[in-house]
């Protein structure tokens, strides 16, 4: 439920990604609560993206660009303006690089 809550926040906070947290929640619910899993997958805003990801259909180019752009902006703000410890900055940067590679590794599907 924590990841669902963070994912919902991502709808309202412009620089916060939500799909990643819904994917984590889907993974957890698939092993614990089929009822919640059906509710997330049935959601009109995020459900189809989760289904496409799990079936290996990929992401549209627009979704990839938006996800990478928003994630990088939020990570840069976090790493260079909100954090004081160097090891945390390095962890944020490494995480950002990893997420960019994960997003780029997804198939690019046609919009529509």
Q: What does the pLDDT profile of the chain (112 residues) look like in tens digits? A: 677 777 777 767 656 667 777 777 887 777 787 888 888 889 888 888 888 887 888 888 888 888 888 888 888 888 888 889 999 899 888 988 988 888 898 889 887 6
Kindly report the pTM of this predicted structure.
Answer: 0.64
Burial of 109 (0-12, 13-18, 19+ CB in 10 A): middle
Query: Residue 88: which H helix or E strand, with range?
Result: helix 86-105
The pLDDT value recorded for residue 41 is 86
Angle at 16 between CA 15 and CA 21, to 5 degrees: 160
Cβ-based neighbours of 26, under 8 Å, separated by 6 or more: 37, 40, 41, 50, 54
The pLDDT value recorded for residue 86 is 92
């Amino acid at each position: 439920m924590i990841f669902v809550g963070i994912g919902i926040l991502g709808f309202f906070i412009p620089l916060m990604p939500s799909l990643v947290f819904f994917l984590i929640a889907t993974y957890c619910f698939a092993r614990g609560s089929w009822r919640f899993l059906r509710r997330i997958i049935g959601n009109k805003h995020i459900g189809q993206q989760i289904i496409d990801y799990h079936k290996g259909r990929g992401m549209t180019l627009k979704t990839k660009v938006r996800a990478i752009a928003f994630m990088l902006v939020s990570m840069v703000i976090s790493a260079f303006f909100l954090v004081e410890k160097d090891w945390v900055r390095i962890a944020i940067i490494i995480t950002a690089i990893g997420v960019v590679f994960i997003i780029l590794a997804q198939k690019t599907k046609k919009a529509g």
